[in-house]
Structure formats: C-alpha cells, structure tokens
Structure 1
C-alpha cells in the first residue's frame, strides 16, 4: 500500500510516539480540554451565535467534541496537512455524530474564501509550521472582520527541552518565545489586550523537571515575568 503523502512540502512528519500521544486521553483531557477552557475564559465580549469555526491543524479530531460543546458552531471545519490524521478525524467526527467538513490543506495556503470564518482555533499548531508568517496571514484572510483567533502554543523554551526533542519532531529553527508569537500577531494586525492573554504554567510544560521540585517543596514556582514561559494562550481579534 502506498503511503499517503502530506499536502505541504514543508510538513515535518510526527514520530510514531507523537502520533499515538495525540490520540490519547492525556492529550484530550489534560492538554486540549484545559486549553479550550482557558481560551473560553479569555474571550471577553460575547462570541457570535452559531459561528463558522475552523480548527487549523485539527490533527486526529480530538478537539471536535470539546469545540462543539464550547462554541456550538453551525459549521465546523477541520484542516490538516496530514491525510492519515484527517482519516482519524473523519472517524472521530462519525463517532461523535458531528458534521465536520475536512480539508487536506496547508495552513499557509487555506482552501477557503476570504472572510468566511468567525472563529479560528489553532492549538499547538504554529510550532509545527515552517511558514508561520504565511499561515498567520492566511488566518487573517479567512477570518471575518470581528472574527477571533483562538491560539494556544508551546514556546521554544518547551519545544527545545531534551524530552520533547527525543519524543517528538519539530522544525527547530522556527521556534519562538511567547513574546515573539505575540509580536507576530501584532505585526499581522490582530488586536488583543492583557486580559486576552495567559501564560499557563502546567505541570507537563515545565521545561526541566515537570514541576517535580515544586511538588516536593524544594523550589517555589517563579511568577510571570521571572520565568521563561513555556505556554501561551491568546484570543486575538481581527478588527
């Protein structure tokens, strides 16, 4: 059987462990669910009723049920560059009884019309992309005026740890800090304030020890501004 090829020439294929992990209970409930709940908290003003929602980098579709519960979209679209992941997404949507339109597409070249999306969910996707600026320009293009980008990312201070390098695969030369990601959003024209940004400090994202020293009482956690942030959540608006 011929292996299905990703639609993007710059796609960085995940490890076998990574592919397995992205369909695990830990991923869905301790990573995805926590991020979506935090993004809902950060939205501030009311969101549109029955929105068109795009999950950019939907992977294996483990977000679909959570997004449906959180935002009740009238139309949900899942986009990914990996055909194998999209097949998993199709099965997940069928299992949940959800209608999800699936698109095999690169985030840097999205096959959707201008101003066609109300909410764009991008969870742990940008750090996989080589063409990050182009992807963000595409997010801007497909969002309607007033539309929201719901972004949750890991920063270079997490992606560049030995355990993540060992277990997963990423384009290391494009990794960014939290502030660099925020600068990229500003440069594209997205608007957000401090109330729309959070820096989660979760046990699994601690750069060196997964928070073990703090759990054992051997170290006090550093506050925001005194640590290298490993996670960034932000809700940004297209004016």
Structure 2
C-alpha cells in the first residue's frame, strides 16, 4: 500500500496486532492519557480541536473524547491500513473523526488550527523528527498544548523490542534529549509538567519480572536510564 511518508518504517505483523490489543489500550494508552492529564497545570480550552498525530488504529479516540470533550478530533497517520482501522473504530464509537493520510513532517492542516496535539508513542517511529516537531508547532494555536509521550532509546534498543517490532534505530533518543528538542523548538514547560513513568511493560529486557520475583531490586529514579518520558508542554502566547 502507498504510504503518506517516504520514510515510513512498516510495523511488524506482531506490532500491528499488539496496537489493537487490550494491553495496548488499557495498560499503555489509558495510563498515558491519565498521566498526561495530571501534568497539565493550567485551564484547558473549552471544546478544543484535538489532533492525534500518529493515531494508529484509533484506540485513543474514546480516551481523548472522555478526557477533553473536544469539538473535533483529527486523526493523522501515514499508514492507510491503520487509517482504515481508525475509521472503523470511530464509527463503532459514534464519533465524527476527521482522518488525514499525512506525514507528521508535512501535516496537511492550516497554521494555528489545533488547540491540543496528542503525540503518543509516535515520535520514535519518525525519521524526520525535527521537521515533525516544527510542524506540531506550526499547527498549534498560540497557547496550544502538546501532550508528548515517548519511549526512549533505553527501551527501544533492547533485544525483545528489536525482535518484536520495527523502528528507525538511528533516531532514538534519551528522555533528556527529547525534552531538549521540545525546549529548542520553543515549547514551555517546567519539571511539574514532566514525568518518567517506570511501568512494568517498559522495564527493559524482562518487563520487571526479576523485580517482581525478588531476584533484583528496581533502581530508583536518578539511578536508572529512563525508558519513558511524558510531557505536557505549551506553545507560548504571542506577544500582545
């Protein structure tokens, strides 16, 4: 099938199946949305336009609807098969979701047209990350909110993830490097707006089994390589 991005890295069959599973929706997506909501420290816009950049199979739509009561949800993905699944999911939910076959590095939306942009576990799939972040900045309104949730290179570059999934390994970054990218683009945030979840599925190599069995102790925050980073960051308001 034709992809909307020439740099698209096609997911494995297992990966495509996993992204429609209960584990993905309940233990990954739901947890991330709840955590991101807790990182927002200013009033939310009323009836916002929400863009899901890398919407995959649409499993986020119900969560975004519940959390933000948007006037409109826009789902963007480079994979036509995923968009077909998103369309079916929106119909199942009774939601009128606008779907766009688009590369995150060249979003087919006007400037300052989005109140909130949800980018969950998408960025590590993108080769042109700087261009994508510049596009996020462009389509967000002044004061708009970017909800950014990512796995870091310390999770992606493990044997089990390499075996089960497919990613562009040359662009993987640490939590600190992702946050530095956000700041360099101009997004504003403080430590209050950032979290480093250490969830069972993100424990590199063994999914936390050795810790659960008491064979190994978990390293505390500050003494481990973070595998996840969530951030609720804002595009500043334009000067009056």
Common fold: TM-score over 0.5: yes
Q: What is the distance in 1 between the residues matched to 2:221 and 2:113?
A: 36
How far 1:45 moved relative to its partner? 1.1
Instruction: For residue 194 of structure 1, report the CA deviation from its aligned partner.
Output: 0.3
Partner of 1:70: 67
Equivalences, count? 236
Offset of 1:138 from its aligned partner?
0.1
Instruction: Indicate the residue corresponding to 2:228 in structure 1.
Output: 231
Deviation at 1:218, TM superposition (A): 2.4
1:95 corresponds to 2:98: no
Aligned with 2:2: secondary structure? Answer: coil
Alignment RMSD:
0.6
| SS of aligned partner of 2:62 | helix
Q: Which residue, 24, 29, 33 being the options, matches 1:27?
A: 24
How far 1:153 sits from its partner (Å)? Answer: 0.2
Whether 1:180 aligns to 2:174 is no
Is 1:209 matched up with 2:209?
no
Mapped partners of 2:55, 2:186: distance in 1? 24
| Unaligned ranges ≥5, structure 1 | none
* Per-residue deviation, 1:214: 1.4
Other-structure match for 1:162: 159
Segments of 4+ moved more than 3 angstroms:
none
Gaps of 5+ in 2: none
Could you tell me the TM-score, scaled by structure 1's length?
0.98
Distance of 2:113 and 2:217 partners within structure 1? 46
Deviations 1:47-102 (A, max 9, x none): 10100000000000000001100010001100000011000000000000001000
Q: Distance in 2 between matches of 1:43 and 1:25?
A: 26
Q: Which moved more, 1:172-181 or 1:205-214?
A: 205-214
Cα distance in 2 between the residues matched to 1:161 and 1:228: 13
- Return the TM-score normalized by structure 2: 0.97
